Amino acid sequence: MAYVVLALGSNVGNRREFLVRAVSELDDIARVVAKSKIYETAPWGYSQQRYFLNAAIGIETACGPLELLDYCKDVERRMGRVKTIENGPREIDLDIIFYGGESYSDEDLCIPHKRWRERDFVVTPLLDLLDAGFFDSGFFSEQKKLLKTMSRLYPPFSAF
């Protein structure tokens, strides 16, 4: 079993419902161990769109990284996501941020997620998982150290 961190975001339709549904869609392949609060955040990369609701979850899964990526992309498609604009509006976005303490890189997937440190809307929910003890397993020792340092630098968002 692997411990994994997923970031979730939605800015189309009933954003909260899309987040809740995405988490429940993962029940077939994962056990949710920890959930962050939900935060409303400004869009990143393409500003002419509605604000996002963002969250993070810590899961335990038997899926390998690529199998998990395929499953997440399938959930996005089933929930109506169609990519039209890079960083544009979406019903749901599921990103693998960490997969245990592993590193992985190919044309479809990079673990840890290559831009997670640059995005407040990812870091702030991760700090909730840190506070919940999700990063206490030995798999995440480096991430835990980095997040503890970052927690002093990031002003908190208001939870939605």
Tens-place pLDDT, residues 15-73: 999 999 999 999 999 999 999 999 998 887 767 789 999 999 999 999 999 999 999 99
Q: What is the pLDDT of residues 87-96, one digit of tens each?
A: 778 899 999 9
Point out the catalytic residue in the list 50, 74, 95, 117. Answer: 95
Mark whether 93 is an active-site residue. yes
CB 96 within 8 A of CB 116: no
Question: Which of 60, 65, 73 lies closest to 30 in space, CA to CA?
Answer: 60
Q: pTM of the prediction?
A: 0.86
Classify domain 2-151 at the CATH superfamily level.
7,8-Dihydro-6-hydroxymethylpterin-pyrophosphokinase HPPK (3.30.70.560)
Q: Is 95 a catalytic residue?
A: yes
- Mutual angle of helices 120-131 and 141-151, in 10-degree steps: 110
Establish whether 50 is a catalytic residue.
no
With CA atoms as reference, report the closest residue to 108 among 147, 78, 68, 75: 68
* Ranges of each domain in the chain: 2-151
Active-site annotation holds for 81: yes
Alpha carbon distance 147, 155 (integer Å): 13
Q: List, in sequence order, every residue forming a beta bridge with 102; answer none if it has no partner.
A: 99
d(CA 84, CA 102): 31
